[in-house]
């Protein structure tokens, strides 16, 4: 006694299912990457790459009860660029953008790895850190930012000079 049947349709169906699964997994991966990219863009400044005001608000809400990273305190340094409008008006928006990027690099370089640096709009930035038991670190951080930003920055052969005003709240 023998049985004979053609398994070609079953093999083809299994292959189609494998391909459909691979396509679905690839599409899910693409969607996840797109979701991450959209979320990143929604929470970061497109020019400097720093977190934006929305991200800052979320961070402050997360740390409101127990202080920044559980330290029991939160220190905010509000930074406003001085003479930025003059650079923007005389040398153009490209120069202004270059100075914003320069300022963001100075802020990142001046801060510790655990500090949170955000651009909250225009020429305003905020640094969030733990205050600690004394204000010495905050004083040193503000001084180092002021000194670094005062150094001239070059843009297309033009020497651009601007300063910062820093307000500190603990």
Q: What is the pLDDT of residues 8-40, one digit of tens each?
A: 999 999 999 999 999 999 999 999 999 999 999
> In 66-167, where does DSSP find H-type helix?
84-91, 93-110, 136-150
If you search the block for the tokens 């300063």, which residue do you land on? 163
The whole-number average pLDDT for the span 87-106 is 92
pTM of the model: 0.80
Residue 133: the pLDDT is 56
Report the chain's mean pLDDT, rounded to a whole number. 91
Write the pLDDT tens digit of every residue in 54-88.
Answer: 999 999 998 888 777 777 788 999 999 998 899 88
For the question of residue 143 being annotated catalytic, the response is no
Question: Are 149 and 125 within 8 A, CB to CB?
Answer: no
Catalytic residue among 123, 134, 135, 143: 123
Rounded CA-CA distance 100/5 in Å is 73
């Amino acid at each position: 006694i023998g049985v004979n049947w053609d398994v070609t349709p079953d093999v083809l169906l299994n292959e189609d299912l494998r391909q459909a699964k691979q396509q679905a997994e690839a599409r899910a991966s693409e969607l996840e990457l797109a979701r991450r990219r959209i979320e990143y863009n929604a929470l970061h400044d497109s020019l400097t790459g720093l977190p934006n005001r929305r991200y800052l608000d979320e961070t402050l809400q997360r740390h409101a009860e127990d202080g920044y990273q559980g330290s029991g305190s939160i220190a905010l340094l509000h930074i406003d660029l001085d003479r930025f409008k003059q650079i923007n008006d005389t040398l153009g928006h490209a120069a202004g953008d270059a100075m914003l990027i320069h300022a963001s690099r100075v802020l990142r370089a001046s801060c510790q790895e655990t500090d949170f640096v955000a651009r909250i709009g225009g020429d305003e930035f905020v640094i969030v850190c733990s205050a600690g038991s004394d204000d010495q670190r905050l004083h040193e951080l503000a001084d180092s930012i002021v000194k670094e930003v005062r150094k001239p920055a070059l843009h297309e052969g033009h020497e651009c000079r601007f300063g910062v005003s820093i307000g500190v709240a603990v």
